[in-house]
Structure 1
């Protein structure tokens, strides 16, 4: 069921940017665009061109800047004037992609649109047909059914709506979990059923939000039920709790044997730069890019780490720091949760060999100091000083 190739479509410049307290300037958008091309994502959504003149100019500028063969998408609502404006901006890309969005869930139709399901279908047909008439036969059209993940009550209708989009000219069907409300497999099963229904008539894409903290897991699993494209964002940026995180998604797929074109070594420097540009700090426990993810303080973990630290697969490490462009390394530090192996490892790094019976004495002293001083960490330098105080041989 898994597609032969999984495409990574980035939406940072649209979905990520629109959620920022201070949206990026044109110069900043150009920098983010260049970071994305260096990462070698498969496609980039550059903005919402019809929303305002600033977005239009930025989208047009980035479309002109796009490398050959990279799909450059612009988002539009199902409105002919907006679709035409979007095309005016993105047509300059080597491979432009029109992206049209319209709600499909029962809740949105009844409480937001306040129209009938038949009117929704007609609106979709009209919008996609118009888009096809102006972009020509070779340009990709992606249709997103907004709130697809919330369409459990009217799932049969969503099939009708997406089929209408395909018949009108859409060749990518995007299934958004616009607001994450349910466990991942609920959405994954919806994607599977839709993929089975669509078959080869269009490519299937997913776009998930992280309201419950499961966007990445949901998106990754969708690839194994037929989704051919995953929409992601740098640093997990996006509305509310953000979008599917690019770094977590591509590493998870890589770890499961998928062959992606991503330049993995650009992940960490890109993440750091995006944090600087947004003013949104990276949490120390953030997967892939957090400061603390290669640190080990538990005694049991430290023993495994010390024994496998030079191996490609670590006892408590998913990937090596250098794989994602980090310059740090696995670290072992001593707290009152640490074991004898931590002290031995840290001293041996400094060329200090401590007899086994002395390690135990040193361990007890270091642990007592840590416990008596509010369980603080004992630094490597302090351990070296303690060892020398015992006149242990280098």
Structure 2
């Protein structure tokens, strides 16, 4: 078999919804929805090795910690393990008063009774009833007429009502899903939901949850939004229903469908952390929530320590979170490209100078620090990187703020190593290259400062007197100039015949307080026009300047060799 040259022989475009006056395209999301995590049910049934009780309890605790208030904890009729976990969770007393648990059941009397039994003793709970309603399921899977399918839902609702009535000490809430809603006739889905509502008699004060799943995502997200708006506009007693969305990701637009569905009038979203779920997964709650956050909306979910959340999710699901997953992936805040790195570096510099908190950094839609990520990992260096990339790494790792022309000079050293190694360079690699390029605290160098003192002559000149190790041998030297730098340059010329002319000099502090040091950068030209750079680092700024001159002298000696 192979892909067809004419796929229209096998597949048909999804029909549009007759909604010419649709309103959702002009709406904005202005507040968060109710969130329902189905990690412990839909997510759990989609992994190779379902979670045991230890993992389920750890996942439940995580969901509570980040602020999820509605948690689908399992499918109690699926087996004794599921039933025992749910009953154990209820009896443990670990469900907070502001959190409500939910269980899922097919619309069969015995399964519904088992589901209620699993929640025996709960303070409050949601029982989620479902049956499939679309033509493919009606005709192929169940071989039922539309009327028979509607009756399955009605019978299930009656059993739910009666079972809840036998347990008056629990605050029961009802949810119904016309499964396969997104591929069913809209008017038929409405009629089934209306029949269920007639049985359960919801009110605005005690609404039913009507969950409208894209069980299999079969159309573009705008079509799903049309379906949601059509449903909301035509459902009788709409004020007595909470409209919930459960999108899957078969077409890769589960998040977009959920967002447009909210714009179309929905109140609630079901999904999983990082989108785990059957086939291509469910709607990712992290992505939807943080999309809202970047628009200035508090989603009511806390992802301040996203790496620890990922660690728990990966442990419980035994599935990795992809490196490029929105917001959570290891590389989503990382730039390797030189032009990207330059823009990010300038963005951070501008951010520090502004007086307001408004976030405006190119390529970063959210501040990584808000999610507990450090800035060190934002820019990483490989053979595709530019001078701004390694300069950023040095600044974050060592505090060095290289002048632009020094960045350009250093880039050739970094590029050479990246090409040789053929891999990403880490901070230690870059620091080592820098030390070797500019003779910073390395053994192999011609000139090394041992000690020195500076005195003032009667005419105002400065006199440099010191000991310099030259090729392993200490030598006493001295020189005179208008300042410290010129006196050291004079010393080099008189003692070693080395002529350097300063073209540029800059310095800055490293750190603050008693641990502060100074970094000095010196651009020098040789008589033949060549340029060499020197770098000096010391707790004393004058000593840092002397070290920078000797660094340049070492560079000149190396280039001459």
TM-score normalised over the length of structure 2: 0.65
Q: Following the alignment from structure 2 to structure 1, what is the Cα–Cα distance between the partners of residues 347 and 172?
A: 51
* 2:57 aligned with 1:44: no
Decide which moves more: 11-20 or 136-145: 136-145
Task: Give 1:105 shift.
Answer: 0.8
TM-score normalised over the length of structure 1: 0.91
Task: Give 1:231 shift.
Answer: 0.4
Match of 1:297? 336
Match of 1:162? 193
Task: Give 1:239 shift.
Answer: 1.1
Structure 1 residue corresponding to 2:431, chosen from 381, 389, 393: 381
Paired residues of 2:36 and 2:70 also in contact (CA < 8 A): yes
CA deviations on 1:29-63 (whole Å, 9 max, x unpaired) are: 11111111111102000101112111111111223
Two-structure CA RMSD over aligned residues (Å): 2.4
Task: List runs of 5+ in structure 2 lacking aligned partners.
Answer: 1-26, 203-207, 352-356, 440-531, 537-561
Match of 1:315? 362
Structure 1 residue corresponding to 2:55, chosen from 18, 24, 28: 28
> Cα gap change, 1:353/1:146 in structure 2, threshold over 3 Å: closer, same or farther?
closer
* 2:393 aligned with 1:366: no
> Cα gap change, 1:200/1:28 in structure 2, threshold over 3 Å: closer, same or farther?
same
Decide which moves more: 237-246 or 347-356: 347-356
Match of 1:148? 181
Structure 2 residue corresponding to 1:251, chosen from 290, 314, 319: 290
Decide which moves more: 90-99 or 108-117: 90-99
Paired residues of 2:31 and 2:298 also in contact (CA < 8 A): no
Q: Which one has a larger percent strand, Structure 1 or Structure 2?
A: 2
Structure 2 residue corresponding to 1:77, chosen from 106, 109, 121: 106
CA deviations on 1:218-272 (whole Å, 9 max, x unpaired) are: 1122111111110011232211222111211211122233333212225431221
Structure 2 residue corresponding to 1:324, chosen from 371, 377, 392: 371
> Cα gap change, 1:76/1:3 in structure 2, threshold over 3 Å: closer, same or farther?
farther
* 2:231 aligned with 1:194: yes
Match of 1:177? 214
Q: 1:175-254 residue pairs with structure 2 within 5 A?
A: 175-198=212-235, 199-254=238-293
| Number of equivalenced pairs | 392
Match of 1:124? 153
Match of 1:104? 133
Match of 2:8? none
> Cα gap change, 1:226/1:383 in structure 2, threshold over 3 Å: closer, same or farther?
farther
Decide which moves more: 248-257 or 68-77: 248-257
Decide which moves more: 66-75 or 134-143: 134-143
Task: Give 1:68 shift.
Answer: 0.8
> Cα gap change, 1:294/1:5 in structure 2, threshold over 3 Å: closer, same or farther?
closer
Task: List runs of 5+ in structure 1 lacking aligned partners.
Answer: none
Decide which moves more: 74-83 or 128-137: 128-137
CA deviations on 1:297-331 (whole Å, 9 max, x unpaired) are: 22222122112336362222122333224456443
Structure 1 residue corresponding to 2:389, chosen from 342, 350, 354: 342
Task: Give 1:375 shift.
Answer: 7.1
* 2:118 aligned with 1:89: yes
> Cα gap change, 1:328/1:129 in structure 2, threshold over 3 Å: closer, same or farther?
farther
Please say which structure displays the higher CA radius of gyration: 2
Paired residues of 1:336 and 1:370 also in contact (CA < 8 A): yes
Q: Following the alignment from structure 1 to structure 2, what is the Cα–Cα distance between the partners of residues 81 and 20?
A: 26
Paired residues of 1:294 and 1:329 also in contact (CA < 8 A): no
Q: Following the alignment from structure 1 to structure 2, what is the Cα–Cα distance between the partners of residues 76 and 303?
A: 54
Q: Following the alignment from structure 1 to structure 2, what is the Cα–Cα distance between the partners of residues 329 and 344?
A: 12
Decide which moves more: 189-198 or 261-270: 261-270
Q: Following the alignment from structure 2 to structure 1, what is the Cα–Cα distance between the partners of residues 39 and 395?
A: 45
Query: Which secondary structure state, in structure 1, belongs to the residue aligned with residue 304 of structure 2?
Result: helix
Decide which moves more: 46-55 or 64-73: 64-73
Paired residues of 1:67 and 1:94 also in contact (CA < 8 A): no
